Structure 1
Amino acid sequence: MTDGRKHCPQCGEDKPLEDFPRNKAEESGYATHCKPCHNARGRESKQRLYGGTREYHLRRRYKMGQAEFDAMLAGQGGVCAICGAPGPEHVDHDHPFGNVRGILCFNCNGGLGQFKDDRANLRKAIDYLEETSWQRVLVHPGVYRLVSPRRERRRSPSS
């Protein structure tokens, strides 16, 4: 490493230090290989050791492989465990222990995350929806009015 440049043994080029990832473990403070070579080596390792990045991700994050994922999804009938949407791709897990609960679609997985997996908050949301949902009220045979339990009925200008 001289005057702000470093040699990458993979591609054989001398490159500016900005082209190398930071690495505190190295004496120089920079990784041995430049960013493109570093990324290529990582992809190759994931492919060689795990068969791909998806398998690597599932094993590292959820301690399960693609075969276990597929079996769990088949056990759910191939649909989201909450809403029943086809083709869910997201592994749902509890955050304190990391235990896998099921396979969810993007929206259901995000929804649980927004409520922080808190059952009390989810119950409050259900109560809120039930209290504020517009309901059809029979006014006359065949004639209905939409009424919200939380909103006052607006008077028409002619009333």
Structure 2
Amino acid sequence: MTSPSPTDLVRCSPTKGCGELKPRSLMAQPGPRAPLCWACYQRMRRAHQGPAVARRANLWAKYRITPEQYDVLREDQQCRCAICGIHETEIDVSRVGGRPRKDGTQLVKVPLAVDHDHATGAVRGLLCPTCNVGLGSFGDDPARLLRAVAYLERCSQQRDSDATPL
């Protein structure tokens, strides 16, 4: 792999961006005034977005759905987790959300996370944080989940048989 020639390098704006020399292909605004690399351009653009705009952009970028489609899913599930059935009002939202916004505005904290098939990208439903993390921990593998169920049932039966009646 050859390194770019000095003429192919552009300095990202030191006042608005990172100030690093980067290949022209990585520049979002390669013009003569305040060129910005893609990373700095995205950071600057997001800093000027409100929470609703950021939520719309994130839902579309990650799952290819709109907030309106999310709301339809939510209503179809009666505001409950698709696995355990907990209602969204019972979910502790203090543990929900991403990184804090640099501009200090509040994050839109949504208790039900979008669950999707990692192989196809298809949205499957909405899950509470606990069920979402659980599925992710099992790698979305039904065989692993079934083995976990079998394990729990064996342990439960063993515990019940070990209990001595009073």
What amino acid is the match of 2:87?
Answer: P
Q: Given the alignment of the two structures, is residue 132 of structure 1 paired with residue 155 of structure 2, yes or no?
A: yes
Q: Equivalent of 1:103, from 123, 126, 136?
A: 126
Where 1:52 maps in the other structure, the secondary structure is: helix
| Cα-Cα RMSD | 3.4
SS in 1 for 2:125: strand
Count of residue pairs the alignment pairs up: 124
Where 1:132 maps in the other structure, the secondary structure is: helix
Per chain length, whose mean CA-contact separation is higher, i.e. which structure has more relative contact order (CA < 8 Å, sep 6+)?
2
What's the counterpart of residue 120 of structure 1?
A: 143
- Whether the 8 Å contact between 2:116 and 2:122 is mirrored in structure 1 is yes
C-alpha offsets along residues 39-79 of structure 1, whole Å, 9 cap, x if unaligned? 232343x55xx951111011111111111101101110101
More helix by share: 2
Q: Does 1:41 align with 2:64?
A: no
Match of 1:20 in 2: 19
Aligned-partner Cα distance in 2 for 1:97–1:37: 29
Q: Matched residues, percent identical?
A: 33
Tell me the amino acid that sits aligned with residue 20 of structure 1.
G
Distance in 2 separating the partners of 1:94 and 1:7: 37
Q: Whose Rg is larger?
A: 1
Alignment check: 8 A CA contact 1:72 1:102 kept: yes
Q: Counterpart of 2:46 in structure 1: which amino acid?
A: G
Instruction: Point out where structure 2 has 5 or more consecutive residues left out of the alignment.
Output: 1-10, 89-110
Greater strand content: 1
